[in-house]
Structure formats: C-alpha cells, structure tokens
Amino acid sequence: MSLPSLQPGTLYLVATPIGNLEDITLRALRVLRECDVVAAEDTRRTGQLLKHFEIRKPLLSYFQFNEARRSEEILDRLGRGEKVALVTDAGTPGISDPGERVVRAALAAGWRVEPVPGACALVAALTASGLSTDEFHFVGFLPHKSGQRRKQLELLAAVDGTLVFYESPYRIEKLLGELAEVFPARTVVLARELTKKFEEFLRGTPAELQAVIEQRALKGEFVVMVGGEDSPKPGSAR
C-alpha cells in the first residue's frame, strides 16, 4: 500500500518521544524524513533525535522567546510551498510547549495544519493513574507566584473530574503542600520519569505523598493528578 505524500504548504505537528525512543511512530519518522525543514524548540536535542534515526534535515530554532519572528519565517516557508515539521523537546507540540502561536498564525494565513500524533505525558499518565478518565481538566504548569497558585487551586476545587498538572522536581514539594491545604482528602497520583527506566507512579493523599518526598529525592518532570471528590482509591503511596 502506497503512503500519501506530504503536502506542500503544510505545517506538520510531530509528536516525539517523552523518554523512550521506541515511542516514535513510523509516521513521525516518515514526516521527519520527507519534510523540508524541522522547526524545533531545542535544535541540539532534536538534532540528537534525528541523528539517532539517521535523519538529516535543516533545523530552525523555535521557542518561547522568538515565537513572533520565527512564526513569520515559518509562514514564509509555507508560502513557498515548503513542508514544515514542528517538534518540541518531547511530546506533542502545543501541549504546555511552544506551538500554539504558530498554529494559529498558519491557520489564519490559510495554510494547512496536520497533526502527527504520538507520545503525550498527559495521556500516558492519566490512563495509568487509576483515576477517572471520563472527565478531566488539564491545567499544565501552575503560576510560579504562591498567591496566584493558591488562588487558581481554590478555583479548581469546584471543577468536576480529575485535575492534571505538570510540575518540575524543584517545586513538587511546594505543590504537595498546597494540595494538602486545598484538597486534603483527595487521592493524588504522581507520575514521573514516564516511559523511562525508572518510571514510577505514587498514589495517596497529599500528606502521604509529602512524607514520601521527605524521605526520597525524586527526580524528573512530574504529571500530578488530583482525583475528584468521589474518586476511587487506586492505592497508597509507596
């Protein structure tokens, strides 16, 4: 069966592995091989990924602080009929990563945007959490300032379903303290090092997880999930 060719003037949103390189899809590899240029959040990291799969393509740096200028360049390339693959450091572009701005600009200019789905930390963590997946609210990263974080958490207390956050290892202890104040009785699941050798899920109340954090130094980026008021108890912290 012949595969469809990439379409000129198309922005391809290519999901890349979040840890395990085996999670790259065959379609993602084909798009990366056949595109004209790869717009990357970190050209060094993406360069290593391409090298691993023996792909040689021009790389265009695209990150939070040059979005406006690079978006214009990407639109110019699409206007010349180029096929542009957009990737982030890991996972799906636009999900708490750069990409949203250029997608809007491309659509407004009349260009085609095509997703190339694959790894996403949000989906991977939620499906294995044991919490409800019928309804969930993805927050991403909370504000850095304590007052703003607390205010947003209090507003989220009225939201039904599972709450999902991203958090760094440097602020995870602080977040658990805030969750202990706002959601003391709810089940929280911490997912870290997803798809990697030391992948781990920790489950319990915020206070139980605080006790774990005090005893162990947990590295890696976290997906933090807070069950609803009637969420099941999928297990205890360990």
CATH of the domain at 83: 3.40.1010.10
Per the CB < 8 A criterion, the answer to whether 113 and 107 are in contact is yes
- Do the strands 10-14 and 83-87 form a parallel or antiparallel pair, or are they unpaired? parallel
Write down the pLDDT at residue 230. 72
Q: Are residues 133 and 203 in the same domain?
A: yes
Per the CB < 8 A criterion, the answer to whether 174 and 147 are in contact is no
Q: Are residues 142 and 216 in the same domain?
A: yes
CA end-to-end distance (rounded Å), the chain: 48
* Domain assignment present for 4: no
Structural domains counted in the chain? 2
Boundary-marking domain end, from 71, 99, 116: 116
d(C-alpha 212, C-alpha 35), whole Å:
46
pLDDT in tens, the chain (238 residues): 678 899 999 999 999 999 999 999 999 999 999 999 999 999 999 999 999 999 999 999 987 767 778 889 999 999 999 999 999 999 999 998 888 889 999 999 999 999 999 999 999 999 999 999 999 999 999 999 989 999 999 999 999 999 999 999 999 999 999 999 999 999 999 999 999 999 999 999 999 999 999 998 888 899 999 999 876 665 555 4
Write down the pLDDT at residue 119. 96
Boundary-marking domain end, from 84, 116, 148: 116
Q: Are residues 111 and 128 in the same domain?
A: no
Q: Are residues 137 and 71 in the same domain?
A: no
* Domain assignment present for 2: no
102: domain range? Answer: 10-116
Q: Are residues 130 and 80 in the same domain?
A: no
Q: Are residues 45 and 99 in the same domain?
A: yes
Q: Are residues 165 and 95 in the same domain?
A: no
Q: Are residues 103 and 41 in the same domain?
A: yes
Give me the amino acid identity at 123.
Answer: V
Q: Are residues 59 and 81 in the same domain?
A: yes
User: Nearest Cα to 162, choosing from 199, 194, 125, 197?
Assistant: 125
CATH number of the structural domain spanning residue 160: 3.30.950.10
- Do the strands 222-226 and 162-167 form a parallel or antiparallel pair, or are they unpaired? antiparallel
DSSP code per residue over the chain: -PPPPPPTTEEEEE-B-SS-GGG--HHHHHHHHHSSEEEES-HHHHHHHHHHTT----EEE--GGGHHHHHHHHHHHHHTT-EEEEE-SSB-TTSSSTTHHHHHHHHHTT-EEEEE----HHHHHHHHHSS--SSEEEEEEPPSSHHHHHHHHHHHTT--SEEEEEE-TTTHHHHHHHHHHHSTTS-EEEEESTTSTT-EEEEE-HHHHHHHHHHS---S-EEEEE--TT--------
Q: Are residues 140 and 174 in the same domain?
A: yes
* Domain assignment present for 217: yes
d(C-alpha 190, C-alpha 140), whole Å:
14
